[in-house]
């Protein structure tokens, strides 16, 4: 079982889109996939058409130890999903911060999980307690990068933080994938940025680029993954190919 945190503290770079559509792509390749929405914005949950504000059982109940993971899972489109609920007041964070061993709550709650090939965690755009819980639970981090101006800005902060988490909380943690998102090969700037990202991350960068694709942005408002919404569009092709590369690269790492 591979547990992967999809994380970047920069907002709007494609974390949620990638968690959903990489998860759906892996499921199309017959993998058993669990998606965990760790973001109090609940974008992943809403993107499946699940009304996060009405939910009674969410990732927060799991973290607080009120419910077992099996009781929180919702099944949809061949995927298992642990939803988040909207936290407008910031209460969840306050409650989490008051817990003992608060960095390890998720790890402890998912300790006995089995039956999945992949568990993907959609992290919020912050290096706070939710992301920290993901990073103590997983061995792998995927970082989506939007191939635009300032893509690498803030990256040294993220890498430093990952380094601290490795040393202090989880020695097995590794950045195993960088995903270039919203790529447009016709834009010179996108190409230049991608070259910089390639130089910086070398073989950690996946070969597959996720192209800019309007259907990807539209699918969530229909509560669908890209494979249901528009199965032949560039977005579906790219995320399926990325899923294949993720599997192949993982097999190589294990071999």
Nearer to ligand ATP, 15 or 109 (CB): 15
Spatial contact of 8 and 152, defined as CB atoms under 8 Å apart: no
Measured CA to CA, the distance from residue 48 to residue 37 in angstroms comes to 11
Tell whether residue 224 is a contact of Mg ion (CB under 5 A).
no
Spatial contact of 50 and 79, defined as CB atoms under 8 Å apart: no
Q: Which of 43, 50, 72, 70 is nearest to 60 (CA)?
A: 72
Q: Which of 214, 208, 205, 217 is nearest to 237 (CA)?
A: 208
Mark residues 14-53: x for contact with Mg ion by CB under 5 A, - for none: -xx--------------------------x----------
Q: Which of ligand ATP, Mg ion, none does 65 bind, CB closer than 5 to 8 A by kind? A: none
Using the structure block, give the residue that is written with the tokens 């949809």: 76
The one among 7, 17, 131, 230 contacting ligand ATP by CB under 6 A: 17
- In whole angstroms, the minimum distance from the beta carbon of 121 to ligand ATP comes to 12
Contact segment (CB under 6 A) with ligand ATP among 14-22, 50-58, 151-159, 168-176 equals: 14-22
Of residues 152-191, those binding ligand ATP (CB under 6 A): 181-182
Measured CA to CA, the distance from residue 59 to residue 54 in angstroms comes to 14
- In whole angstroms, the minimum distance from the beta carbon of 146 to ligand ATP comes to 8
Q: Name the residues that contact Mg ion, by CB under 5 A.
A: 15-16, 43
């Amino acid at each position: 079982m591979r547990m992967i945190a999809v994380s970047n503290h920069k907002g709007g770079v494609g974390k949620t889109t990638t968690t959903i559509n990489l998860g759906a792509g892996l499921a199309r390749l017959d993998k058993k996939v669990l998606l965990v929405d760790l973001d109090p914005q609940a974008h992943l949950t809403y993107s499946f058409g699940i009304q996060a504000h009405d939910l009674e059982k969410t990732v927060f109940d799991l973290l607080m130890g009120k419910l077992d993971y099996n009781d929180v899972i919702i099944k949809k489109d061949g995927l298992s999903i642990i939803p988040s609920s909207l936290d407008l007041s910031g209460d969840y964070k306050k409650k989490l911060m008051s817990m003992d061993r608060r960095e390890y709550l998720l790890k402890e709650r998912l300790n006995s999980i089995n039956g999945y090939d992949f568990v993907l965690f959609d992290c919020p755009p912050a290096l706070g307690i939710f992301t920290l819980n993901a990073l103590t639970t997983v061995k792998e981090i995927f970082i989506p990068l939007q191939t635009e101006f300032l893509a690498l800005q803030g990256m040294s902060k993220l890498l430093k933080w990952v380094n601290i988490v490795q040393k202090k909380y989880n020695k097995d943690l590794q950045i195993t994938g960088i995903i270039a998102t919203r790529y447009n090969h016709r834009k010179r700037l996108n190409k230049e940025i991608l070259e910089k990202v390639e130089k910086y991350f070398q073989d950690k960068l996946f070969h597959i680029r996720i192209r800019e694709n309007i259907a990807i942005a539209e699918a969530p408002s229909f509560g669908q993954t890209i494979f249901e919404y528009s199965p032949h569009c560039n977005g579906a092709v790219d995320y399926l190919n990325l899923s294949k590369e993720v599997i192949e690269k993982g097999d190589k790492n294990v071999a």
